[in-house]
Chains A and B, each alone.
Chain A
Amino acid sequence: MPSRITPLIRKEFIHIRRDFRTLVIVFAMPVFMLLMYGYAINMEIQNIDLAVLDHSKSPASSELVRAFQGSRFFTVHYFDGGESEVETLFQQRAAKIVLLIPHDFAQALATPIPTTVQMLIDAGDSNTAQSIQNYANAVLQNYNAERGLVTPLDVRTTIQYNPTLKSSYFFVPGLVAIILMMISALLTSITIAREKETGTMEQILVSPVRPQEIIIGKVVPYIFLAFLDGVIVLLVARFWFDVPIVGNLFLILAGCLLFVFVALAFGLLISTRAATQQVAMMSALMGTLLPTIMLSGFIFPISAMPKPLQLVTYLIPARYFLPVIRGVMLKGNTLEHIWVSICVLAFMGLFFLIISAKKFKMTLEV
């Protein structure tokens, strides 16, 4: 590395160490996000309050209730009263699901006609309601099977890559994308805007340093920091949240590097347009961080979005990076599986870089 660049890099590191806000973004935000997506955003439903209105009060109905008590998902509470009671139970939040056993349950069980019990679910939270419905039906099926009932089909399910359906398997590796994007795009755009704002950019420009060298000196520290944070998140994922790394570690790191390149190029593009730090920060947040969180499939499945928004997601780099990191890490994908995403990312990075280089030259000449 030419000796002129090294002092520039050192200068940038000194800036970083002095700036409280940068330190917060580099160190505190990733921790916050790890806690948030590791613990607070959790889709695994547990401890569902189930209210039983048992009008049959027979040994047969108790046996059915025992099936629910045996499930680790439900906490069973008995209540008296009829169907008019259900609304109150939901409004008092005493239960999420009400199991209504009719008074002729025991007699109906003895007949060859299927016996119906009612399940009423508070579906305000649709997602939880769906899971509750599934769990309750599974309990019912087990109960039927234990009574020696043979279904005409033998349905077997296999769940691959994440057998216990843990949320952390999905969110924590995805977090690498968010953090790389945040540090690369947000910080580079702020730091260049700051030099412009304080006028030190012009001072550097009149020195014998070439513009390319300035840019390299600017971005190298952030590549380093972003990469460091990415690795930290991967370590936490592996050793704290027990997310397995099935695929090739080098491929993961190479993918991260490529994504850092795309994000930096995007950050440079913002900085060529933004004159002040505040504008840079706002446009970086609006232009990169929010879309990356919202529209990349990081939390919300793209297939459930309205069609026009689905089209917008094709413009979001993280949309291509997420399958790479999740795929290699958890599915053991190899280059052969993910080369399309890699190519799109590389193309996006080059595209941003060329545009920002053009813009940068122009702003310097004017």
Chain B
Amino acid sequence: MQRILYLLQKEFRQVFRDRAMIVIMFFVPVVQTVILGSVMTTDVKNVKLIIYDGDQSAASREVCRHFMNNPYFQMVGYAEGAGDLREALDRWQAQLGLFIKPHFGRDLARGLRPEIQLIADGLDGNTAGIALGYAQGILSAYAQETASVSLTNAPVVSETRLWYNLNLESKHYMVPGLIGLLATVVTMFLTSMGLVREKEIGTLEQLMVTPIRRGELMLGKILPFVVIGFVEINVMLVVAFFVFKLHMAGSYFLFLGVSLLYFLTTLGLGIFISTLADTQQQAMFISWFFMIFLLLMSGFLTPIANMPLAWQNVTYLNPLRYYVNLLREIFLKATPLKFLWNEIIPLAVFGLLIITASALKFHKRVS
């Protein structure tokens, strides 16, 4: 026990002596959370809208006004005609066109169901789909207001309620995911780099010849990064709260618990990488490869359900998939432990397997 304490002391000294290390550990994640959290938004707002009003009646102007007083659309101007409107889409000046034909107001008043056209630039499919949905919503709301046609029977309408994220802001979804991502980067990279550096400068061999047991050595190497990992995720919680005004809905201790399980995986991978690499540069490069796989197959950016089925099956092998899911569930929905076993059990199994396997490999490698 005493020996481990000495080792820990040594490790912490080594880590904190290095200025660059402190910057990498604390400053970089904060900046990344702030910038990535602001940039990674799939919110659809300020969609550039161009209108052709061929009618110029009170009714058509009323339709236009409905679009202008709306945060989702940003009016870029009026088109002179159909060709002009099409041209604006071609030139990237507008993403959505609203085309109102002549006699719109007159036909509406007479109950002739005047045609109104929405023309969308579909290149960015996500934005286009959502913007069209908004536009149709605005038009049908307008139609209900002005319904002069006598309705034979009334429509079924929906009353929609959005749970957990009233204003539909993507940061609620992205920021908890980011915590998972950055926790991976820090713990996996730092562990592998730390171990490889000792290998590079030869101090690992010096430690080997001391009476310290292998297990103690591993523990002494890993524990500091567990501590750093925990500090890290707490720093990010603070950033999430003060910068993005997000607070965790679920249990804080559950959050810490699943994070510990996930650290088993990342630290295990860090040790594994250190047995493969001889230089810090190699360690960094191999870590990138693991990182790409973890990120790609985690559902961090877009839902896993949208992937092809074969890809979805591969994601079950990815510990980050479970961790990101857990973070989002706990953070946003306060999902209690009893509904989370489907994620926690695989996470624990992967963590234990990976850390045991890497410890054995490390053991063999050094002896």
Contacts and interface: CB of A to CB of B under 8 A. Distances in A.
B215 interface: no
A62 interface: no
Nearest to A99: B158
Contact of B333 (A91, A114, A303): A91
Interface string A160-171: 111111110110
Contacts of B172: 124, 126
A155 B119 CA distance: 11
A157 interface: yes
Given A21-B285, A91-B336, A91-B339, A127 B114 contact: no
Interface residues of B, number: 91
A335 interface: no
Contacts of B173: 124-127
Contacts of B89: 160, 331
Contacts of B43: 126-127, 304
Nearest to A336: B91
A36 B121 contact: no
Interface in A18-54: 21, 32, 35-36, 39-47
B159 A119 contact: yes
B108 interface: yes
Nearest to B115: A154
B257 interface: no
Interface in A313-340: 323, 326-327, 330-333, 337
Nearest to A145: B155
A333 B164 contact: no
A116 B130 contact: no
Nearest to B42: A127
B313 interface: no
Contact of B39 (A42, A91, A156, A294): A294
* Residues of A in contact with B, size category: 35 or more
Given A152-B148, A337-B90, A114 B155 contact: yes
B227 to A, nearest CB: 26
B57 interface: no
Given A126-B168, A161-B123, A169-B123, A152 B155 contact: no
Interface in A209-268: none
A341 B42 CA distance: 25
B119 A165 contact: no
Given A64-B156, A152-B146, A160-B119, A301 B339 contact: no
A157 B115 CA distance: 10
Contacts of B169: 126
Given A153-B113, A157-B132, A159-B132, A121 B160 contact: yes
Determine the main DSSP class of B at the interface with A.
mixed
A309 B36 CA distance: 11
Interface stretch (A2-10, A105-113, A176-184): A105-113
Nearest to B157: A114
B139 interface: yes
Given A115-B157, A156-B116, A151 B90 contact: no
Contacts of A332: 90
A191 B339 CA distance: 52
Nearest to A305: B39
A153 B159 contact: no
B163 A90 contact: yes
A295 to B, nearest CB: 7
Interface stretch (A132-140, A199-207, A346-354): A132-140
22 contacts: A39-B311, A41-B301, A47-B305, A88-B339, A91-B329, A118-B161, A119-B161, A120-B163, A121-B163, A123-B163, A126-B42, A127-B130, A129-B165, A130-B168, A134-B129, A151-B113, A156-B118, A167-B126, A304-B45, A305-B38, A309-B38, A331-B123
Interface of A: 21, 32, 35-36, 39-47, 64, 86-88, 90-93, 109-131, 133-134, 136-138, 140-141, 143-144, 147-167, 169-170, 277-278, 294-295, 299-301, 303-306, 309, 323, 326-327, 330-333, 337
Give the top 7 A-B pairs by smallest Cβ distance, nearest first.
A134-B133, A165-B125, A162-B122, A123-B162, A123-B165, A43-B126, A159-B122
Interface of B: 35-36, 38-48, 74, 89-92, 108, 111, 113-130, 132-133, 136-137, 139-140, 142-143, 146-149, 151-166, 168-170, 172-173, 281, 285, 292, 296-297, 301-303, 305-308, 311, 328-329, 332-333, 335-336, 339
Given A90-B163, A136-B160, 13 more contacts: A41-B301, A44-B306, A121-B161, A121-B162, A126-B170, A127-B173, A152-B146, A154-B114, A157-B117, A164-B125, A304-B44, A309-B39, A337-B91
